[in-house]
Amino acid sequence: MPLAAVNGISLNYDVKGSGQLVVLIMGTGSPGRVWALHQVPALVKAGYRVCTFDNRGIAPSSESAAGMQIDDLVADTAGLIELLGEGPVIVVGTSMGSRVAQELCLKRPDLVRKAVFMAGHGRLDQFQKTLSAGEHDLDASGVQLPAKYEAAVTAVMNLSPATLADPNSARDWLDLFEFTGGPVTPGIRAQRKMDHDFDRVQAYRQIKVPCLSIGFADDRMIPPYLSREIADAIPGAVYRQIPDAGHFGYLERPEVVNKALLDFFAS
pLDDT in tens, 94-144: 999 999 999 999 999 999 999 999 999 999 999 999 998 998 898 888 888
263 is a catalytic site residue: no
Looking at residue 140, what is its pLDDT? 87
Prediction pTM value: 0.96
Query: What mean pLDDT do residues 45-68 have?
Result: 96
Inter-residue long-range contacts of 125-129, CB under 8 Å, 24+ positions, other chains counted? 125/223, 125/226, 128/196, 128/221, 128/222, 129/196, 129/197
d(CA 140, CA 184): 10
81-90 residue pLDDT tens:
999 987 799 9
**Catalytically annotated residue among 76, 132, 219, 227:** 219
d(CA 172, CA 69): 35
- Return the CATH number of the domain spanning residue range 3-126+186-266: 3.40.50.1820
205-246 residue pLDDT tens:
999 999 999 999 999 999 999 999 999 999 999 999 999 999
**Catalytically annotated residue among 95, 132, 160, 213:** 95
267 is a catalytic site residue: no
Looking at residue 238, what is its pLDDT? 98
HSE (CB half, 13 Å, CA atoms) of 167? 0
219 is a catalytic site residue: yes
**Catalytically annotated residue among 64, 121, 213, 247:** 247
Looking at residue 183, what is its pLDDT? 84
Q: What percent of the chain has pLDDT over 90?
A: 90
